[in-house]
Structure 1
Amino acid sequence: MASALVALSEDAALQAPGFAMPPAMRALTALATGAPISAGVLARILGVTPATMSRICGRLEAADLLARVSDPRDRRRTLLDLTPAGETAARGIRDRHARALAASLPSECGSEDVRHALEAVRDRLRRTTAASERSLPASDEPRRM
């Protein structure tokens, strides 16, 4: 049942009303899970090209949802971080995703089923992120989690 609920949650995230830019939403929620990271690392985590990531970051920055900050360990590098408005937007995305998931579930699902499904989604996201981070060159690894 958990794998079916994971699939439902992924569909709900992409089909929830008002979500016109799924890659931008994924960028916001990815940045909300840890410390600032480079655009290159974020592009690899999201599975988009650097050019696409640049456009996404430009839109998020123009909307005051994302800020580019200097890397405190290497001032030549720029990292991406959420602004307070970006943190609020990421929370809103997670809340809407949870509501879309709840609406997608059969009415006979109990709270224990939902809890197990959410744990499965969380575990899958962690495994996906960890696999993406393992594929990064050592010099560009994110400093998160």
Structure 2
Amino acid sequence: MDKNKSNFNNTELIKKRLNSLQFAVTQENATEPSFRNEYWDNTREGIYVDIVSGEPLFSSLDKFDSGCGWPSFTKSVDEKKIKQSVDASHGMVRTEVRSTDADSHLGHVFTDGPQPGGLRYCINSAALRFIPREDLENEGYGELLALFEK
């Protein structure tokens, strides 16, 4: 992904790079269908990056099956890469999560996750790109291989 911050604010450039669902989710705060998205049941080892900026957001090590039909994680790879805000849309109050660099809408975080921590980051697959563990070095994320060392 393009890591040049100046391109994160260029809506037309982003629209050309993403499919319509990815654009709707990341730029228009849409939600993809549960259980009919790319990563809800992905069990491969690797990381999940922002589809717009390429910033690393989540690891398969922190992914769990919450039963909600979207990828769920207990924490972010780096909490500085995620920002939170109150979302009072759709007649409910939730905590929205967005990527820090590109300001992509990712999903929401809830306090009903597993312990310790108790968080459940419920994230749209359309906001993510999965990079398998074996491809981290070639994709420029070699420093994150340390996450997977036992």
TM-score range, shorter chain: under 0.3
RCO greater where, 1 or 2, for CA within 8 Å and sep 6 or more? 1
Point out the structure with max Rg over C-alpha.
1
TM-score of the superposition, structure 2-length normalised?
A: 0.24
TM-score of the superposition, structure 1-length normalised?
A: 0.24
